[in-house]
């Protein structure tokens, strides 16, 4: 049996696994083993695990649903903390408090059932609260009367973080610096522990209609994760052009390297046909970048995170 490093002995040993494969915990279903995988079941537990790793100088990474990331085939050294902190409550005045590991879809369904509006736009998008704030989760609404990009920042009130310096504090939107696929969390090793969202009263009938419209729109344009695992959009948005459109115009829908394939449905999404490796995906990314650069002169920049060793 692998002995637990002294730095991690303060953690619950029953939730600590050595040499744990990461592929099952990502939406791409790709990734080698972590030296150590820990399941954090509360915000306090999450903070304690990060603090333990930091104190020991051990590499660490917080993993939510594993969307929007590509894990390396060689896995990750140090500690991967799977964020399972899912507690959440709703107040009578429309304030939703949630720990950062709560799944956005669960919060959408809970709030819509209770007649609260603000999160319904994000139905069907695989993300935790922490991941949603990290990337300023967004969705382009298909309905004519609201045909614009909706951002999670519109419902955001504040959040508690564990800062890069080890301080637990509550911060607001000014600190977060919400942008398009960008926040302060891309530039500092702060971690969201919990968050509050200010919702408004809505008509449950209308909210359910929005859920159905958005799920239908998304289902017709994105491959189903249960059949074709993916990490979502691979490349950053190119304003007025569209990364997927450029890839499509290069004739690359369906192009594959190993078991990694550019989706037939959406050219900015790459899918795992069953046994794709991170090396396959990286080679496919490089091929799409070269093709678009050569034909159109645009540089495609990945928006997914590359985590671990490749």
CATH number of the 6-83 domain: 3.30.43.10
- From residue 91, how far is each of 67, 95, 171, 202, 299 by CA, in Å? 29, 5, 20, 15, 46
Rounded to a whole number of angstroms, the CA Rg of the chain reads 20
| Mean pLDDT along residues 53-76 | 96
Q: Please state which of the four CATH numbers 3.40.47.10, 3.30.420.40, 1.10.3260.10, 3.90.78.10 is assigned to the domain occupying 230-307.
A: 3.90.78.10
Note whether 88-221 and 230-307 share their fold: no
Strands 16-21 and 116-117: unpaired
The model's pLDDT over 196-242, given as tens digits with 9 standing for 90+, comes to 999 999 999 999 999 999 899 888 889 999 999 999 999 998 888 99
Q: What is the pLDDT of residue 142?
A: 65
Report whether CATH 3.60.15.10 matches the domain 88-221.
no
Please answer whether residues 288 and 282 qualify as being in contact, where contact means their C-beta atoms are separated by less than 8 angstroms: no
Give the model confidence (pLDDT) of 145-200 as tens digits. 556 788 999 999 999 999 999 999 999 999 999 998 899 999 999 999 999 999 99
> Average model confidence (pLDDT) for the chain?
95
Closest to 128 (Cα-Cα) out of 204, 179, 176, 194: 194
Q: How far apart are CA 40 and CA 28, in angstroms?
A: 22
List residues with catalytic annotation: 188, 233, 303
Q: What is the pLDDT of residue 300?
A: 97
Burial 131-169 (b: 16+ CB within 10 A, else e): bbbbbbbbbebeeeeeeeebbbbebbbbbbbbeeeeeee
- In this predicted structure, the answer to whether residue 1 has a pLDDT above a threshold of 60 is no
Q: Which residues contact 290 (CB under 8 A, 6 or more apart)?
A: none
The Cα 61–Cα 159 span in angstroms is 20
Domain assignments of the chain as residue spans, ordered by start: 6-83, 88-221, 230-307
Q: pTM for this one?
A: 0.93
């Amino acid at each position: 049996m692998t002995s637990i490093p002294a730095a991690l002995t303060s953690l619950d040993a029953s939730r600590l696994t050595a040499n744990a494969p990461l592929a099952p915990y990502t939406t791409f279903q790709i990734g080698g083993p972590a030296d150590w995988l820990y399941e954090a079941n509360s915000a306090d537990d999450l903070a304690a695990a990060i603090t333990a790793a930091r104190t020991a100088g051990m590499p660490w990474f917080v993993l939510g649903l594993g969307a929007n990331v590509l894990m390396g085939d060689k896995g990750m050294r140090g500690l991967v903390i799977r964020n399972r902190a899912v507690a959440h409550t709703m107040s009578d005045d429309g304030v939703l408090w949630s720990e950062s590991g709560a799944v956005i879809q669960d919060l959408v369904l809970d709030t819509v059932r209770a007649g609260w509006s603000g999160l319904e736009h994000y139905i069907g998008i695989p993300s935790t609260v922490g991941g949603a704030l990290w990337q300023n989760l967004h969705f382009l609404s298909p309905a004519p009367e609201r045909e614009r990009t909706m951002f999670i920042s519109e419902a955001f009130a504040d959040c508690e973080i564990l800062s890069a310096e080890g301080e637990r504090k509550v911060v607001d939107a000014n600190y977060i610096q919400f942008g398009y696929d960008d926040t302060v969390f891309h530039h500092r090793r702060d971690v969201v522990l919990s968050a509050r969202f200010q919702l408004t009263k809505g008509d449950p009938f209308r909210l359910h209609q929005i859920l159905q419209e958005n799920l239908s729109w998304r289902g017709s344009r994105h491959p189903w994760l249960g059949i074709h695992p993916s990490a979502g959009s691979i490349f950053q948005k190119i304003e007025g052009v569209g990364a997927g459109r450029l890839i499509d115009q290069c004739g690359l829908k369906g192009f594959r390297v190993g078991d990694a394939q550019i989706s037939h449905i959406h050219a900015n999404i790459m899918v795992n046909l069953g046994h794709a490796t991170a090396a396959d995906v990286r080679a496919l990314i490089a091929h799409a970048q070269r093709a678009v650069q050569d034909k159109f002169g645009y540089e495609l920049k990945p928006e997914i995170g590359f985590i671990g060793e490749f």
